[in-house]
């Protein structure tokens, strides 16, 4: 029997992708014995694109591709960026599962991101379809999961609900970096060396991204 591939889907705005993303992806890849972490940059409604400090879909995709270059354990897809209209995780997960029946997927997200799960499109169906792996994050309490999904029964770092795949809490080494902080630093003319991969740093500078005054 052919072995099944194990892939974790990592969705996010990636505005821009940073060392925090790469660090957690690498850590989860190793600790959970995955074949691949698939980065899925989120689409953004056209009326929001190019406004404020949100880089265009092309720029965000390009930065992720630069950051992942040379790492066979990581991949990126423009699935959500190509889609017309609102881009729901439900659609992304359903599409990937249908397109890759030989793969076991899990959905990877930070503790801050699970906090809003109850407002996601078809959230209960989504939790019934795919295992969620929630990574600890320095600025978000460890117990957020229990508070947000009290109907789940904790069993160590696994959270169970009859008839649904488990939710897993994964402790990752704290890396107190966020895209918000990186954008702030750039807009203040401060360096982001070490916070984003060098190729991404060069791309941001060449394209003048996030820098309103320079």
- Site of interaction with ligand ATP (CB under 6 A): 12-15, 20-21, 24, 109-110, 112-113, 135, 137, 172, 175, 177-180
Least distance CB 150 / ligand ATP (angstroms): 21
Q: Which of 97, 170 has the CB closer to ligand ATP?
A: 170
Task: Find the shortest distance in angstroms from Cβ 66 to ligand ATP.
Answer: 15
Cβ closest to ligand ATP, residue 52 vs residue 163: 52
Q: What is the DSSP letter of 83?
A: S
User: DSSP code of 108?
Assistant: E
CB distance 176 to 137 below 8 Å: no
Of 102 and 188, which CB lies nearer to ligand ATP in the complex structure?
188
Contact 25, 37 (CB under 8 A): yes
Taking the complex as a whole, the smallest distance from the CB of residue 103 to ligand ATP amounts, in Å, to 20
Using the minimum distance from each CB to ligand ATP, give the nearer residue, 103 or 175.
175
- Identify which of residues 109 and 167 has a Cβ nearer to ligand ATP in the complex: 109
The least distance separating ligand ATP from the CB of residue 202, rounded to whole angstroms, comes to: 20
Closest residue to bound ligand ATP by CB: 110
What number of other Cβ atoms are within 10 A of residue 19's Cβ? 17
Write out the E strands in the chain: 5-12, 36-41, 74-76, 103-110, 131-135, 153-155, 158-160, 167-170
Q: How far is the CB of 27 from ligand ATP (least distance, A)?
A: 10
Strands 153-155 and 5-12 come out as unpaired
Asked whether the beta carbons of 136 and 157 are under 8 A apart, the reply is no
């Amino acid at each position: 029997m052919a072995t099944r591939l194990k892939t974790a889907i990592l969705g996010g705005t990636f505005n821009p992708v940073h060392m925090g993303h790469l660090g957690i992806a690498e850590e989860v890849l190793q600790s959970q014995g995955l074949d691949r972490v698939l980065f899925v940059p989120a689409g953004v409604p056209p009326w929001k694109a190019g406004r404020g400090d949100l880089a265009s879909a092309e720029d965000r995709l390009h930065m992720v591709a630069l950051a992942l270059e040379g790492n066979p354990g990581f991949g990126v897809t423009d699935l959500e960026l190509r889609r017309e209209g609102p881009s729901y995780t439900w659609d992304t997960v359903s599409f990937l599962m249908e397109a890759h029946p030989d793969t076991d997927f899990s959905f990877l997200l930070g503790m801050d991101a699970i906090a809003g799960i109850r407002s996601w499109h078809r959230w209960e169906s989504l939790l019934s379809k795919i295992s969620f792996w929630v990574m600890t994050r320095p600025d978000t309490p460890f117990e957020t999961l229990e508070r947000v999904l009290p109907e789940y029964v904790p069993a160590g770092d696994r959270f169970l609900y009859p008839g649904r795949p488990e939710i897993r809490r994964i402790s990752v080494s704290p890396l107190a970096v966020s895209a918000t902080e990186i954008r702030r630093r750039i807009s203040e003319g401060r360096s982001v060396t070490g916070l984003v991969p060098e190729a991404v740093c060069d791309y941001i500078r060449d394209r003048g991204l996030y820098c309103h005054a320079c």
